[in-house]
Structures are given as C-alpha cells and as structure tokens.
Amino acid sequence: MRFDVDFIEDLKNEWNNKVKKVRVGCLILSIVMIAAGVLCVLYPMQSFNVMKIIAALVFIGLGVYAIITYWMTPVYFKDPIAVMSGLTRILFGALLLNMPAEMTAMSLTFMLAVLLLFGGAEKISFSRKLSFFGLLDTRMYTYSGILNMLLGVIFIILPMTSALVINYIIAAYLIIDGISLFIEAIAMRKLKD
C-alpha cells in the first residue's frame, strides 16, 4: 500500500488557510467565557439564572466549535473524542436550558465533570498528535488538558461540595477554560515549511 499524500504538508496547508479565522473566533469565545465567569463571581446570587443560560450557551457554542473543528481537521489528525465531546457539550447545554433550578446545581456539577474529562482527553490526544509530527510546541495544550481532567475528577469526588458552590465552580470553569482557549488562540501561528 502506497500513500501519495504528504500528510504533514496537507495539515500545514489546511491550517495556514484558516488559522486567522480560528484565532479570531477563539479569542472572541475566550473573552466571552472569561467575562461570564467574572460576572458569576461578582454576582453569585443574582446571576444564577442568567449564569445558567450563559453557561448553557457556552456549552452549546463549544460543542458546535468542537464538531466544526473535527470536520475541518485532515483525516489522519481527526479524533473521535472531539465529536463525542462536542455532542456531549451540546446535549448538556440543551439540558441545562430546560432544567429546573432545584436540580441544576447537582446535575451541573456532574455535567461539568464529564465535560472537563472529555475536553482534557481531547486536548491531550491532539497535543500528542501535533507533537509526534513536530509541528508545534504543545506543552500548553497538554497542561490545559491535564488541568481540565484534574478538575473533572475533583468534581466527581466532591459532588456535594461542588454543588454548594456551583456559581463559583461554573465561574472557575468558564475562566479557566476561557484563559486556556485565549492562550491557545494567542499561540496559534501559521505552520512553517
């Protein structure tokens, strides 16, 4: 079996053609996430319903972004975890929009745990692939993935404590993921030959 495709060159061309659009989209989304997280910290009691809607919309937005990114990635770099993560985020966002306030705190804790675990695994997997081909310095992606997975495990281990401080947990999730996305957006560069 012979491959007439230069996998690395194909990835470079596809990435270089869309890096500016992806960077701008990531920067805007990260700023929205950080702002939403800060508002959750500043106004915890008043912002629960608003925060619930914002968090749901962010989950749905991140889910759509993950699926679009999956389809735009060259076939040999595609990771099915990205689609699972995207669909899970969209589902959780839709559930969160329709969930009664009494059930939201505990349910949201488990939703965040699952999302953090999927998101962390996806980042680590993608980081390994990029590192294998020597395309980028992927340490920030790996650290971000590890941090997400650690937070997910903490949410699973301490669900009651997490549910009591759900405003702050959501704020931490939005701020940490927003900062992580911001750093990734800043680090995005055209790949050189």
d(CA 111, CA 148): 13
- pLDDT in the model for residue 99: 77
For residue 135, what pLDDT is reported?
Answer: 64
Task: With beta carbons less than 8 A apart as the criterion, state whether 138 and 153 touch.
Answer: no
Decide: 97 and 112 in contact? Cβ < 8 Å.
no
Determine which of 13-17, 44-48, 58-62, 68-72 has the lowest per-residue pLDDT on average. 44-48
**Residue-range domain boundaries for the chain:** 15-187
In this prediction, residue 16 carries a pLDDT of: 77
Closest residue by Cα to residue 161 from 145, 148, 172, 147: 172
Which of residues 177 and 3 earns the better pLDDT score?
Answer: 177
Mean pLDDT calculated for residue range 5-27 = 77
**How would you classify residue 149: left for phi > 0, otherwise alpha for psi between -120 and 50, otherwise beta?**
alpha
Q: Which of 169, 167, 171 is nearest to 179 (CA)?
A: 171
pTM of the model: 0.53
Q: What does the pLDDT average to over 19-48? A: 82
CATH number assigned to the domain with residue range 15-187, chosen from the 4 options 1.20.120, 1.25.40, 1.10.1330, 3.40.30: 1.25.40
